[in-house]
Structure formats: C-alpha cells, structure tokens
Amino acid sequence: MNKLIEQIEALQDIRAGLFSKDFLLTWEKSDHDLLMILEVASVLKQMRDLNISPRVFDTGLAVSNFRDKSTRTRFSFASASNLLGLSVQDLDEEKSQISHGETVRETAAMISFLSDFIGIRDDMFLGEGNRYMREVAASLDESYAHGVLPVRPGVINLQCDMDHPTQSMADLMHLKQVFGSIDELRDKKIVMSWAYSPSYGKPLSVPQGIIALMTRFGMNVHLAYPEGYELIPDIVKKASAQAKESGGGFHVSNSMEESMKDAHIVYPKSWAPYHIMQRRTDLLKKADRDGLRDLEQECLVSNAKYTHWEYDHAFKALTHDQNAMYMHCLPADISGVSCLKGEVNAEVFEESRLQTYHEAGYKPYIIAAMMLCYRFSSPAEVLKKLLEHNKSRIRYV
C-alpha cells in the first residue's frame, strides 16, 4: 500500500484536472489523472479489506440525481459516499419542486447548502445529458462565487448520453487487476461489440466510454456492429486518434465473427443506433407517444434481423486460447434467462458471471477516488494520515 501511495505522490505532482474539477468525461482528463484515480481507488479498496476506516468527512451530503433507472451505479454512489463519511440524499424530481417548473439553476443551489457532491445520471436524451450536468456545474459556480454556498460541490457523471466514466474506469481497474498492470494491457485485443437485444433505446454511453478509454492505454480496440448501428461519430474519431497517440489500434467492423478472432477481452453489449437516438430524443421532447411507439416497433424489427449477434460458445471458440475474458456492465440480456434470445448465451454468461460481479465491485472505489481527488489537493497525504491513524472500520469490543 505504501508503494501505491508513493506512486500517487508522483502523479499528483503533474496532475492538473482532478482537484476542484468535476468528473464528466474521461477524455477531458489526462492519462496521469486517470492513473491517479486508479491508484487512489486501489488504496481505498485495500484499506477496506484491512478494516481501516477511510472516513475523511464528519458530516455532509452527497446528492444523487438519477433521471434514469439504476442498480449498480446507484448503490455504488451511495457506498462510495458512505465509505468516505458522507450521508446520501436521493433527489426525486417527482417529489421536488422541479415537477412544478423549478429551474436547474435554482435546484442546484437549493440542494447544495451543506453538500459536497452531486452525482447525476442523465442518459435518456441524446445531446442533453452531459449538457444538463454542465448547467448544474455552472449554477454551482455562480452560487459559490457569490457566497451562497460555503463550498462548491463536485459533480460526478454517473452516466450521460456521451460517456459512462465510473463504469469504464471500473472496467479498466478490473482489467488492471486481472492482467497485473496497465502496461500489460498494451496490445491486448478488446472487442466492444453490439449484441442482440429484444429491447430498444439502450444508451450509447457504455460502448463510447469503452472505446474512448481503452484506446488511451495502447490496447487493440475493435468496435463491431451491424450496418446502421453507429455510435456518435465525433467520439469514434476521438477513439481512433487516441489509439494512434498511444501506439494501440482501433478498428471498426460490421462482422462480429471477424472481430472476435484472437480477442483477449470481449464486451458484447446492445445499444440503439445513433440516428435512432437522435429521432428518439426529438420525440421525447415533443412527448409524442405515438411516434415513440412507432419508432420502438421499427427498431425491434431491425434488431430482429441480428439475433445471431449473440455471444455464445461458437464465438468464444474464435477468441484467444478459446477463452477470452467476458465483460459486461450488467444487467446482461441472457438468452433463456432474462429473455428468450439476447446478448449472451446462458452457459457462456454463467461461466463468467462471478467475474462480472468482481468487475462491478470496483465501481464504489472508483467513485470514492473521484470524490477524494476532487476535494483534496494532496490525496497521498490524506491517505497517509488515514493509515497512520489506523482507525478500525469495524470495532471489536
């Protein structure tokens, strides 16, 4: 653990984008910033494993604003907040004055008087979720600058229309643990593949987050999807440029079979096409229920053409040593379990099910690390003091 703290000390000397900076998109952070989050998260996990309390707050709120459904991220945010000593308050927009027309500027101030963080999930409206988070951030800046707020709460993106940084960073931490180090990930082939789902409207943020993050670290990233199921073009271009900068690779294919060949890691996950999400957003803004119903039927018919895009033993046999590491953000559409036909064969999923739980288990530590690095200019010093104090989380009387 002391070696990890030494690495954090070295990183914090050159970091620029974490202290008092919101965490909204991974590609807004430097490589050093991302490595800092990973190292701090690793120390926090080890402290928890060793029964050492990492509580750095005596009081304070962490406000969660989930504008879409969530299990893993909702509880990860609550767990991270509690780990550091903060209480969690969920903002239910239907029970607040937001439903009566309260402005974003006013809401942001009213929920922040004694708050330290605001976590937001807003992934339903293409082009709107990340914009909303920045509007909240701007409102906090104004209230803090004019003395309305004693401290400026940090904003953490818990999934938007563009990125899912807490998920992709947890995935990267999981890969680091499995392969031994970030350096060992270089040249490893990871396939971010569309997979069949009997539902429509799944956000683009997970596949975009994966290709935009893994290309930063020299991985050989393959993006696979049927024709017409593209992601946001600018983010795909960014992934390609980052791959060149890192010495890795980035390839786009319309063949799941071709992409899976010799893969070390596979991530079969459904998403709605970019052009469909654009149309869906327009219909949602207009509250056009008939239009949304028609669009859903159109998309389900389109998805049904690609039921063979299901990750099964035949695809697994094409991968490296016929045993690529399977990843998923969960919940997966499991054929014969959660649906008749889905993203992954039931037997294949079961072979990796517990590993996907491990993958998800890193998210609370990633979020806690984002919080710690936002609030403290020297995370290494904070962690050192916590270790020196050596306060037990569970006290055996």
The answer as to whether 395 is a domain residue is no
- Dihedral over alpha carbons 18, 24, 30, 33 (to 10 degrees): 40
Is the pLDDT score of 113 beyond 80? Answer: yes
C-alpha dist (Å) from residue 46 to 28, 42, 61, 175, 387: 28, 6, 25, 17, 11
Answer yes or no: do 329 and 279 share one domain. Answer: yes
CB 179 within 8 A of CB 325: no
Answer yes or no: do 190 and 140 share one domain. Answer: no
Question: How sure is the predictor about 99, in pLDDT bands with cuts at 50, 70 and 90?
Answer: confident
Structure tokens at 357: 């739980």
The answer as to whether 397 is a domain residue is no
pLDDT of residue 93: 85
Backbone angles phi, psi at 97, to 5 degrees: -75, 0
Q: Compute the average pLDDT of residues 66-90.
A: 96
CB 333 within 8 A of CB 197: yes
Number of domains in the chain: 2
How many residues in total does the chain contain?
A: 397
Answer yes or no: do 135 and 182 share one domain. Answer: no
pLDDT of residue 124: 84
The answer as to whether 229 is a domain residue is yes
Cross-strand pairs, 17 = none
Which uninterrupted H or E stretch holds 191?
A: strand 189-193
Which uninterrupted H or E stretch holds 316?
A: helix 313-316
Question: How sure is the predictor about 287, in pLDDT bands with cuts at 50, 70 and 90?
Answer: very high
Surface-to-core class of residue 395, CB atoms within 10 Å of its CB (0-12 exposed, 13-18 middle, 19+ buried): exposed
Percent of the chain with pLDDT over 90: 90
Is the pLDDT score of 197 beyond 80? Answer: yes
**pLDDT, tens digit, for every residue of 128-144?**
999 999 999 999 999 99
**Measured between alpha carbons, how far is 350 from 345 in angstroms, rounded to an integer?**
9
C-alpha dist (Å) from residue 361 to 1, 40, 201, 321: 19, 15, 26, 27
Pairing label, strands 325-326, 87-90: unpaired
Question: How sure is the predictor about 397, in pLDDT bands with cuts at 50, 70 and 90?
Answer: low
The answer as to whether 227 is a domain residue is yes
Note down the domain range covering 12.
2-163+364-389
Question: How sure is the predictor about 1, in pLDDT bands with cuts at 50, 70 and 90?
Answer: low
**pLDDT, tens digit, for every residue of 153-185?**
999 999 999 999 999 999 999 999 999 999 999
Which CATH number is 320's domain given? 3.40.50.1370
pLDDT of residue 275: 95
Answer yes or no: do 130 and 197 share one domain. Answer: no
pTM: 0.96
Answer yes or no: do 195 and 332 share one domain. Answer: yes
Answer yes or no: do 243 and 268 share one domain. Answer: yes
Is the pLDDT score of 15 beyond 70? Answer: no
Spatial neighbors of 183 by CB under 8 A, at least 6 apart, are: none
